[in-house]
Amino acid sequence: MSAGEILRLNAVDVVRNGRAILSGVELAVHAGEHWALIGPNGAGKSTILSLCGAVQHPTRGTVAVLGHRLGRVDIRTLRESIGHVDPRHAVRSALTARDVVLTGATGTSERMLRWEPDAALIARADELLERLGLGALADAAWPTMSQGERGRTLIARALLADPPLLLLDEPSTGLDVAAREQLLDTVDGLHRAEPELASILVTHHLEELPETTTHAVLVSGGRILAAGPAQEVLTTELVSGCFASPIRITHEDGRWRARADRPRRPKDAGGAGTEAVASSAPRR
């Protein structure tokens, strides 16, 4: 891996039950880069993220995470240096927000029996909750918290070990518009506060991308169609090709927007018809 490189997938294939899930995947992520991983359902996004998180190994090719090649390193130890945010994270007991954050130290969903965090770890958990706007909810029970509050708590959990790599798996799932915007503001603030942190965010929706997104990768059919700086990848032409449907992409005030690129409707014979209003934003 080159200097500053956090992650590299080289000629990666993943095959399950004789079926190719990923083919020839190439990807390199460096410190301070914030990647969006985008593609339709079944494209292979979750499989790529599982490789990045040292959850599974490739069938062929190599995956190096934080300078360690999968297959030649204790992946349990490696995972301790990777922050992973999954909104489907299961908490079955009435843990407090602080306790949920502390489970990041053990990589479990519940507090481990006979395990007690030291004072420094508790202070770290409280500092993260405060930083993410949840200081007043440190003792709140998980079942009473809103989906947005839970999402920010899970980000705090992922950051407990101060990881150099943060993976966000559709973090806006289940959020209303206000909660989504608050979470994206949180992610933007985190990126700006920690300039060396690298992140990968998986989503289906360009509207769910933080302003601080620097790079993007489009995935379809288990293959990477395009990867590079976000402004060069998230274009009308490339996104339409990825989703096999005409999609108009605009970028304004740091945020992306996607809309179906429908053809204009012709006026009727009497001239009384209307045309679909075209966006004034330039197409890419």
Q: Which of 36, 67, 63, 35 is nearest to 50 (CA)?
A: 63
Residue 279: pLDDT band by 50, 70, 90 thresholds?
very low
Residue 123, Ramachandran bin (φ over 0: left; ψ between -120 and 50: alpha; else beta): alpha
pLDDT on residue 76:
83
Tens digits of residue pLDDT in 139-198: 999 999 999 999 999 999 999 999 999 999 999 988 999 999 999 999 999 999 999 999
Q: What angle do CA 270, 273, 278 make, to 5 degrees?
A: 140
**Residue 174 backbone class (left: φ over 0; alpha: ψ -120 to 50; beta: rest):** left
d(CA 155, CA 128): 9
Residue with tokens 């950051």: 159
Name all domains of the chain by residue range, CATH numbers in brackets.
1-81+164-284 (3.40.50.300), 89-162 (no CATH)
Please give the pLDDT value at position 276: 42
- At 92 the pLDDT is 82
The reported pLDDT for the residue numbered 2 is 60
- pLDDT band of residue 225 (cuts 50, 70, 90) is very high
Q: Is 147 strand, coil or helix?
A: helix
> What is the model's pLDDT at position 263?
67
Q: What's the mean pLDDT when you consider all of the chain?
A: 89
Q: Are 229 and 215 in contact (CB under 8 A)?
A: yes
Q: Work out the percent of the chain whose per-residue pLDDT is above 70.
A: 91
What are phi and psi for residue 9, nearest 5 degrees? Answer: -110, 125
pLDDT in tens, 34-50: 999 999 999 999 999 99
> What is the reported pTM?
0.86
Q: How far apart are CA 18 and CA 7, in angstroms?
A: 27
* pLDDT higher than threshold 70 for residue 280: no
